[in-house]
Amino acid sequence: MNEFDNLNDEERLKAENEFLKMKLMLENGAEFEKTEDGAHLSPQVENEFLNYIHAFEKQSQNPKYIKVFDKIERPVHFKPVAEIRDDEIEAAWETLQEYLHQYHISLNACSPNISVRELYRFTTEELFEHEMSDMNIPGMAHGFIYDEFYPDHLYDNTRYAVDDCVAYILKKTPFEYMPCFRSKNLRLNDHYPLSEDAFKLLVNRFKEAYDTMEDIEISDGLCTINDKTCVVKGNYTLTGSIQNDAINLKGNWEVYFELNEELGYWYIWNVQIGGIHF
């Protein structure tokens, strides 16, 4: 008699889940943490997850690649972008997106400067010819980002300068994360050269001097790129408080980037914020 014959459906699922976990651990080196009582997934959801991982690992061992155009069965009804009028391009792009979604493929753009016409052109002229992994796993989607093919450095550097640098420095929360900065020889106002730790220390010492830092307003920033150098400029206002005394800070700021040609990324190396003595 099979040892599972006396198990109900939920117990069978749990037994199958334990078998799949053991299989993934032995074949792929997977690790599974024990969860606290009441925090675990239902046997059904866990089973779907484990089967998904098992199928993914199995197909990854012998990867296959296919052109996007072949994956979507080589459609011939999408017009060349030059033949689509301006008043038709929105609908044409929506139709193209819906067609791609049928094959669990999507294209998005981070930069708001990318037009719908460009997204349509890129998809039909370039993405169709791009090779993708040919995995057939239920629920798996393939997402492409336009910016990974054609980065908008003006947009990206402005966003990094405002959101990940100046705003981060002017907020009360500790300054800890520096993904957009180079690793050494940093500058903060007159302080140079600085390591990452020394940069953090100066910023956090400034923050600790204030009980609160509120009403922060930062301009969008003006970005200028010249070959391998970039600077983003703007202004700010901030209200801090020390023992209930309000202190208004304001001034101009500048964030300087350099291009790492080997990696193709821009990194911050110099931050100048007027009106603050770090």
The pLDDT tens digits for 220-259 are 899 999 999 999 999 999 999 999 899 999 999 999 999 9
pLDDT of residue 134: 82
CB 89 within 8 A of CB 116: yes
- The Cα 246–Cα 240 span in angstroms is 6
Decide which of 218 and 55 is more confident: 218
What mean pLDDT value characterizes the chain? 88
* Nearest residue to 204 via CA among 168, 237, 240, 238: 168
pLDDT at 218: 97
Residue 242 DSSP label: E
- No. of H helices and E strands in the chain? 9, 11
Q: Which residue has the higher pLDDT, 139 or 270?
A: 270
Instruction: Label residue 45 by pLDDT band (50, 70, 90).
Output: confident
Residues 270, 160, 175, 250, CA torsion sign? positive
The tens digit of pLDDT for each residue in 57-110 reads 665 667 788 999 999 999 999 999 999 999 999 999 999 999 999 999 999 999
Q: Which CATH class is domain 153-273?
A: alpha beta
Domains of the chain, residue spans: 9-61, 65-149, 153-273
From CA 3, how far away is CA 160, in angstroms rounded? 59
Can you give the pLDDT at residue 171?
96
Q: Quote the pLDDT of residue 271.
A: 98
Query: Does the pLDDT of residue 39 top 60, yes or no?
Result: no
